């Protein structure tokens, strides 16, 4: 991953003013304290009741403002994830941005045949392998739900495939608390059964969703409680999309989603103070003409930036999205939508950015989209590095030396700096027309297909010892 310079002014963008941040925060507090969140889980209700929450007969909890303040005070402002070797590598804190894929797609775009088909378990391993190979992808998610494994064990099989085919941190989904326990057991095997090491250097984060509007399902509550007790970091983003799970207006949808995310934070911190939490709902739009929830709309880029502003107000790392599209193929639309979202995530300093590699509004995963967005991220990071200004880059002596020359091309300064003074693409084409034509006249989609095939055929992630893989298979067999 490209390292951002520290001695350079870096471009930065706020979406909300300070007063707008406070207004949306006050609206979210009004929702959580006066309207409440429905949570049909006896254990969670008792935890809330014991802490001073108001529980009505419909299992709706109204959370006193002091509990929200306490949770914001005890949640860490910095969440650190390690890779599967135990090396700290993701520092989720203000100013740092990391990108990775999403989960749970039904279909995938087959890179060999070009067909849209159902996801299979081997695809999960291929997705993880390609993520591991790409320098601007910092973690893995499953990118799909395979149809060729038992439905009730889907997330466990996915997690095992990600363990076997990557050493990156893992963001995982789980079906219920039992799933979460089994996945924790697999993760423990990677660390040789060392619970203390896993607690202190977690390499996974549990993705847990409330349901908009203002519902927290029992399974979500139990996954959250189990994760908190084991100190597994969590993200708790609801889908407060405008016009469906939330009001049609972005401000109202933000307030709704923030209330849902804050409720998850309060419950987690009541179970275990200081447990690591990534803040932020997902707030896109349901297109009123097509009824799809858009993955390429400018509204989602706006709301993720707004949530980064609010995350800074709360001093919490933020959940976000980028690199996805509503397009059905890897075409101009896919590139346009992915680029806008990547630039927005970096400019607004979102923390943990997912859904890279989604096409067809999150229904289909695409390795070509993943690889293309890896290049977009690299280009965007170069832009966000800004312009370094010092004696070497101002190059006054060079200008004086070459003042009578027709070009700076042959000067030593050019030779010494050309590798770092410019950004060079890996996949974008800069050849002249005859050279491009001689090389086969390949379109971007064709180049991406070849690059995916090259990675799958040649890249091998660092292998894990046989005894770890054997233990993972034993846990899978026991779950079955």
Placement of tokens 């363990």 in the chain: 163
Closest CA to 104 of 116, 118, 91: 118
Q: Angle between the 154-165 and 466-479 helix axes, to the nearest 10 degrees?
A: 170
pLDDT confidence of residue 480: 85
Structural tokens at position 15 = 């979406």
Structural tokens at position 447 = 């180049």
pTM of the model: 0.96
Band the pLDDT of 469: cuts 50, 70, 90. very high
Give the domains, in start order, of the chain with CATH numbers: 72-385+468-479 (3.20.20.480), 391-421 (no CATH)
Burial of 364 (0-12, 13-18, 19+ CB in 10 A): buried
Closest CA to 294 of 341, 329, 347, 247: 341
Statement: residue 377 has pLDDT above 50: yes
Of 2-16, 33-47, 121-135, 307-321, the poorest mean pLDDT is in 2-16
Structural tokens at position 86 = 């135990």
Q: pLDDT of 105-155, one tens digit each?
A: 999 999 899 999 999 999 999 999 999 999 999 999 999 999 999 999 999
Q: Which residues contact 16 (CB under 8 A, 6 or more apart)?
A: 24, 306, 309, 310
**Strand spans (E) along 286-341:** 319-321
Placement of tokens 């880059």 in the chain: 393
Structural tokens at position 140 = 């893995």
Band the pLDDT of 6: cuts 50, 70, 90. very low
Q: pLDDT of 258-287, one tens digit each?
A: 999 999 999 999 999 999 999 999 999 999
Burial per residue of 20-50, b for 16 or more beta-carbon CB atoms within 10 angstroms, e otherwise: bbeebbebbbebbbeebbbbebeebbebbee
Interstrand relation of 60-62 and 204-207 (parallel, antiparallel or unpaired): unpaired
Q: pLDDT of 316-356, one tens digit each?
A: 999 999 999 999 999 999 999 999 999 999 999 999 999 99
Band the pLDDT of 5: cuts 50, 70, 90. very low
Closest CA to 278 of 98, 97, 100, 93: 93
Of 232-236, 291-295, 299-303, 404-408, the poorest mean pLDDT is in 404-408
Structural tokens at position 321 = 């999205």
**Is residue 127 within 8 Å of 365, Cβ to Cβ?**
yes
Q: In 10 A of CB 424, how many CB atoms?
A: 10
Average pLDDT over residues 394-401: 96
pLDDT confidence of residue 7: 57
- Give the integer Cα–Cα distance in Å for 373 and 67: 40
Q: In 10 A of CB 410, how many CB atoms?
A: 10
Which SS3 state, helix, strand or coil, does residue 80 take?
strand
- Give the integer Cα–Cα distance in Å for 385 and 459: 29
């Amino acid at each position: 991953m490209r390292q951002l310079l520290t001695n350079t002014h870096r471009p930065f963008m706020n979406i909300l003013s300070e007063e707008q941040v406070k207004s949306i925060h006050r609206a979210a507090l009004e929702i959580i304290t006066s309207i409440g969140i429905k949570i049909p889980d006896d254990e969670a209700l008792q935890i809330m009741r014991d802490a001073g929450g108001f529980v009505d007969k419909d299992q709706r909890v109204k959370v006193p403002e002091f509990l929200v303040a306490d949770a914001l005070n005890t949640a860490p402002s910095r969440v650190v994830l390690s890779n599967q070797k135990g090396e700290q590598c993701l520092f989720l804190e203000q100013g740092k941005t990391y990108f990775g894929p999403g989960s749970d797609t039904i279909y995938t775009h087959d890179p060999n045949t070009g067909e849209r088909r159902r996801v299979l378990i081997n695809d999960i391993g291929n997705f993880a392998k390609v993520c591991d190979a790409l320098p601007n992808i910092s973690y893995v998610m499953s990118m799909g739900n395979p149809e060729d494994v038992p439905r009730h064990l889907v997330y466990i099989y996915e997690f095992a495939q990600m363990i076997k085919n990557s050493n990156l941190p893992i963001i995982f989904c789980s079906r219920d608390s039992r799933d979460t326990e089994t996945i924790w057991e697999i993760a423990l095997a990677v660390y040789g059964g060392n619970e203390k090491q896993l607690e202190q250097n977690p390499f996974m984060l549990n993705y847990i969703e409330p349901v908009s509007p203002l519902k927290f399902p029992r399974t979500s509550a139990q996954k959250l409680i189990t994760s908190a007790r084991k100190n597994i970091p969590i993200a708790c983003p609801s889908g407060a999309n405008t016009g469906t799970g939330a009001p049609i207006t972005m401000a109202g949808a933000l307030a709704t989603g923030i209330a849902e995310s804050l409720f998850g934070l309060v419950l987690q911190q009541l179970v275990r103070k200081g447990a690591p939490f990534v803040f932020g709902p997902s707030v896109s739009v349901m297109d009123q003409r097509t009824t799809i929830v858009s993955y390429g709309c400018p509204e989602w880029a706006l709301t993720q930036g707004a949530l980064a502003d609010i995350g800074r107000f709360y001093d919490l790392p933020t959940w976000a999205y980028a690199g996805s599209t509503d397009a059905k193929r890897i075409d101009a639309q896919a590139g346009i939508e992915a680029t806008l979202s990547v630039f927005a995530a970096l400019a607004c300093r979102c923390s943990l950015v997912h859904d890279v590699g989604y096409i067809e509004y999150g229904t289909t995963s695409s390795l070509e989209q993943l690889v293309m967005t890896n290049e977009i991220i690299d280009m965007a990071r170069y832009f966000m590095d800004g312009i370094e200004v010092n004696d070497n880059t101002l190059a006054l002596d060079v200008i004086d030396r070459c003042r009578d020359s027709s070009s700076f091309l042959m000067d030593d300064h050019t030779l010494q700096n050309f590798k770092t003074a410019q950004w060079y693409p890996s996949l974008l084409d800069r050849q002249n027309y005859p050279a491009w034509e001689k090389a086969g006249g390949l379109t971007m989609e064709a180049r991406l297909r070849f690059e995916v095939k090259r990675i799958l055929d040649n890249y091998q992630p660092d292998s894990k010892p046989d005894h770890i893989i054997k233990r993972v298979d034993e846990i899978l067999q026991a779950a079955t």
